[in-house]
């Protein structure tokens, strides 16, 4: 059997991924069994990044309304921001209380709007 370039690439990849991965000699290279988790992690990270970008865009566009609603303890814009961020139902009250108790910090004139995004994402 003649090895064609695709076969050689697969052989080289298998050799690299399996080399030095025995239990007695740990390697910095992933084992073949780690590949699905690496791929899954990449997709999970991409989904998180996309969701965070949507949350950030919403916060930027509705920052003034969010400032007013968080002072009152809630409202449609805050509900929508939490929906986009996928805040867990058990964390909704925590998010509202966090924004109310530290309102001056999160919503002062020179505040970094990303702090609001972080609170939403940490509770998702």
Domain regions of the chain by residue span: 51-124
Q: Which residues of 33-46 are buried (b: 16+ CB within 10 A; e: fewer)?
A: eeeeeeeeeeeeee
Residue 109 main-chain phi, psi, to 5 deg: -60, -40
Query: What pLDDT, in 10s, does the model give residues 29-61?
Result: 555 555 555 555 666 788 899 999 999 999 999
The predicted pLDDT at position 45 comes to: 84
Specify the higher pLDDT residue, 12 or 88: 88
**Cα 67–Cα 108–Cα 70 angle in degrees, nearest 5:** 20
The confidence band for 7, taking pLDDT boundaries of 50, 70 and 90, is low
| pLDDT above 90: percentage of residues in the chain | 60
pLDDT score, position 109: 87
pLDDT of 90: 97
Query: What Cα–Cα distance (Å) separates residue 88 from each residue in 77, 97, 98, 121, 123?
Result: 17, 15, 15, 10, 7
**CB atoms near residue 111 (< 10 Å):** 14
**What pLDDT was estimated at residue 24?**
55
């Amino acid at each position: 059997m003649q090895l064609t370039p695709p076969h050689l690439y697969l052989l080289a990849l298998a050799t690299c991924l399996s080399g030095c991965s025995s239990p007695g000699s740990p390697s910095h290279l992933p084992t073949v069994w780690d590949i699905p988790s690496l791929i899954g992690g990449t997709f999970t990270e991409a989904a998180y990044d996309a969701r965070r970008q949507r949350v950030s865009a919403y916060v930027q566009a509705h920052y003034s309304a969010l400032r007013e609603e968080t002072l009152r303890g809630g409202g449609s814009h805050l509900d929508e921001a939490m929906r986009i961020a996928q805040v867990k139902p058990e964390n909704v009250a925590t998010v509202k209380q966090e924004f109310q108790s530290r309102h001056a910090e999160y919503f002062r004139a020179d505040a970094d709007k990303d702090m609001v995004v972080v609170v939403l994402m940490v509770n998702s």
